[in-house]
């Protein structure tokens, strides 16, 4: 982002947080920057444009950090989700005043652009939770993964709300562990009760497609297929010793890809070793990875 534009957004966010969006004028934003009001309109067409751009920028920063964790294949799926929980809470607290202002003044409903952006953001978040749950718990939870994702999102959201609105102080790492334990309870309870799920791809397909498009946009084809391969390995139904060998090879593959300059020959050798186990469910991901590396 242009440095001057970024400087204006930072100043505007402070003004909005202090006085509220509706009570803040473009003139006041200009005064805080010690520039002429007309200069603002070179970068933003209106106060609405400033607010929407500020929120998108804040959201983009958090999404970028979360994606860095999502791409860190040295971490297990459980470790990735825990780190993402912690980061999410820290980012919300960092921009606490701005978020409170947005909610108090219903600024999320300010125009159609903001409404569309909020819809997409919520879809991406559900898609992230859904895939994290599949990666952690495997195929046993697939039927209930959307319900589990929705419930853990609601649980974590309420605790974050206590932190933001009621200024409650929680240890974020402890709270992330707490969330994971509650997710364990949710998943195991859903599997044990075997009740028909409320949410499925039949009634949530369009929403999930929207989330997938946004989430996948941030990842390369190799990164997406490595994550898919990990999920397929977690769901293998074969001898424990063979699963351990495959998992060990996959972990080395992850570590090599995570290096600043991964070696193609090492990657291809590891893929060939995985193919030697002749597990049909892994073939598609292995084919894609071999063509991309």
Question: pTM higher than 0.85 for the full model?
Answer: no
Buried b vs exposed e over 147-184: b needs ≥16 C-beta within 10 Å?
A: bbbbbbbeebeebbeebbeeeeeeebeebbebbbeebe
pLDDT(5) > 80: yes
pLDDT, tens digit (0-9, with 9 covering 90-100), for 216-253:
776 777 877 887 888 788 778 888 888 889 988 988 88
pLDDT, tens digit (0-9, with 9 covering 90-100), for 95-142:
888 888 888 777 777 888 888 888 888 999 999 999 999 989 988 899
Tell me the torsion sign for CA atoms 48, 53, 58, 60: positive
More confident residue, 244 or 258: 244
264-281 mean pLDDT: 92
CB 293 within 8 A of CB 271: yes
Question: What average pLDDT does the structure give for the chain?
Answer: 88
Q: What pLDDT sits at residue 256?
A: 85
Q: How many CB atoms lie within 10 A of CB 41?
A: 13
pLDDT(161) > 70: yes
Q: How far apart, in whole angstroms, are the C-alpha atoms of residue 280 and residue 241?
A: 18
pLDDT, tens digit (0-9, with 9 covering 90-100), for 22-45:
899 999 999 999 999 999 999 999
Instruction: Count how many residues are written for the chain.
Output: 293
pLDDT, tens digit (0-9, with 9 covering 90-100), for 141-150:
999 999 999 9
CA distances from 138 to 9, 130, 134, 172 (A): 43, 11, 5, 27
């Amino acid at each position: 982002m242009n440095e001057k534009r970024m400087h204006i957004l930072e100043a505007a966010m402070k003004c909005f947080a202090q006085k509220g969006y509706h009570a803040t004028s473009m003139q006041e934003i200009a005064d805080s920057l010690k520039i002429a009001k007309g200069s603002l309109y070179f970068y933003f067409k209106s106060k609405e444009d400033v607010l929407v751009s500020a929120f998108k920028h804040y959201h983009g920063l958090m999404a970028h950090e979360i994606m860095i964790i999502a791409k860190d294949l040295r971490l297990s799926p459980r470790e990735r989700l825990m780190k993402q929980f912690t980061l999410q809470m820290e980012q919300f607290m960092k921009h606490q005043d701005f978020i409170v202002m947005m909610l108090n003044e219903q600024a999320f409903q300010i125009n159609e652009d903001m409404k569309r952006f909020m819809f997409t953001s919520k879809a991406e978040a559900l898609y992230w939770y859904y895939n994290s749950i599949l990666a952690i718990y495997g195929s046993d939870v697939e039927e209930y993964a959307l319900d589990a994702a929705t419930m853990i999102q609601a649980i974590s959201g309420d605790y974050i709300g206590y932190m933001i609105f009621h200024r409650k102080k929680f240890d974020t790492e402890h709270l992330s562990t707490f969330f994971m334990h509650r997710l364990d309870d949710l998943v195991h309870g859903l599997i044990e009760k075997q009740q028909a799920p409320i949410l499925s791809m039949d009634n949530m397909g369009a929403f999930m497609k929207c989330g997938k498009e946004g989430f996948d946009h941030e990842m390369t084809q190799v990164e997406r297929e490595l994550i898919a391969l990990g999920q397929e390995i977690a769901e293998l139904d074969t001898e424990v010793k063979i699963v351990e060998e495959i998992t060990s090879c996959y972990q080395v593959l992850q570590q090599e890809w995570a290096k600043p300059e991964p070696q193609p020959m090492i990657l291809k050798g590891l893929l060939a070793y995985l193919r030697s186990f002749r597990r049909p469910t892994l073939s598609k991901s292995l084919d894609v990875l071999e063509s991309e590396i």
